[in-house]
Amino acid sequence: MNKQSNVYTTIYIIVLVLVVGTALAATSLALRPKQQENIDADKMRQILAAVHETPSADDVVAEFNRYIVEQTVVNTKGETIEGNAFTINMAEQVKLSPDERSLPVFVCELKSGSRKYILPAYGAGLWGPIWGYIALDSDGSTVYGAYFAHQGETPGLGAEIEKPAFTDQFNEKLHLFKDGKFLPIEVVKGGVAPANGADYVNGISGGTITSKGVGAMLDNCLTPYKSYLEKLKNSSNG
């Protein structure tokens, strides 16, 4: 048989591709559940990081189920709606207009018994997506902690948003409600306080676009929760 003929070559490559394709499809199907578990565990780890809990890789799921006592979905009017908070894809939600969004809330009960409300955020940095989780006290205003992550920001510059030097700024009693007005946390340059009196954190020098991205993300993702947080604030006062 002539191995250089066109017929042989064509049949050869078709058979080869079919064999390799089948092998890949089989691998992917066999490993899908295990991979999804890992992705979920990673998300749980990130949510817990917002309330300063860092369980080891093996206990993430158990710790998450212990701390997170309630998962709800709300709309911009602050009403609870149908849905699974954990599986909501924030990347798709932020593209919708605020009124159409499903807003996940993770309610966490710490060992001390105090309740924290963890809200997810998703936005754009310089090179790719950035995301995070912001934990609030039960007054719906005081920030308890924050976790940020990114896909591919510049190491040493924009990528610093995930480092404690940046996120620890969120531990210092920042407030979303100032004199009854709702003002999301701003990210500023050089410590210049925003004109509207909002609480702020310092951005990262050399990581201006990523810092601005964090500011825009907080604004875009926290503002829809305004009604929900107001209800929370009023119920904690009364």
Partner 1 sequence: MAEKVNNKSVFFNPFSKNNPVIVQVLGICSVLAVTAKLEPAIVMGISVIAVLAFSNVIISLIRNTIPTNIRIIVQLVVVAGLVVIVDQLLKAYTYDVSKQLSVFIGLIITNCILMGRLEAFAMANKPWPSFLDGIGNGIGYTIILVIVGFFRELLGSGTLLGYQVVPQWCYEHGYVNNGLMILPPMALIVVACIIWVHRLCNKDLQED
* Residue ranges that bind partner 1, judged by CB under 8 A: 3-4, 8-9, 12-13, 16-17, 20, 23-24, 27-28, 31, 34-35, 38-39, 41-42, 57, 155-156
Q: Which is nearer to partner 1, 28 or 114 (CB)?
A: 28
Q: Which is nearer to partner 1, 46 or 102 (CB)?
A: 46
Q: Which is nearer to partner 1, 27 or 87 (CB)?
A: 27
Angle formed at CA 65 by CA 63 and CA 68, multiple of 5 degrees: 100
Compute the least distance from the CB of residue 97 to partner 1, in Å: 32
* Cα gap 90→93, rounded to integer Å: 5
Compute the least distance from the CB of residue 187 to partner 1, in Å: 24
CB under 8 Å to 123, separation ≥6 — which residues? 94, 129, 130, 131, 213, 214, 216, 217, 220, 221
Torsions phi, psi for 76 (to 5 deg) = -65, -15
Measured CA to CA in angstroms, residue 208 lies from 73, 125, 154, 219, 222 at distances of: 33, 10, 11, 16, 21
148: closest CA among 164, 137, 136? 164
Compute the least distance from the CB of residue 2 to partner 1, in Å: 10
Q: Which is nearer to partner 1, 41 or 110 (CB)?
A: 41
Within the chain, residue ranges assigned H as helices are 6-49, 60-67, 90-93, 164-167, 208-222, 226-237
* Cα gap 209→154, rounded to integer Å: 11
Residue 218 contacts residue 134 (beta carbons within 8 Å):
yes
Q: Which residue has the tokens 């929370």?
A: 232
Q: Which is nearer to partner 1, 24 or 193 (CB)?
A: 24
Compute the least distance from the CB of residue 17 to partner 1, in Å: 7
Q: Which is nearer to partner 1, 159 or 201 (CB)?
A: 159
Q: Which is nearer to partner 1, 57 or 91 (CB)?
A: 57
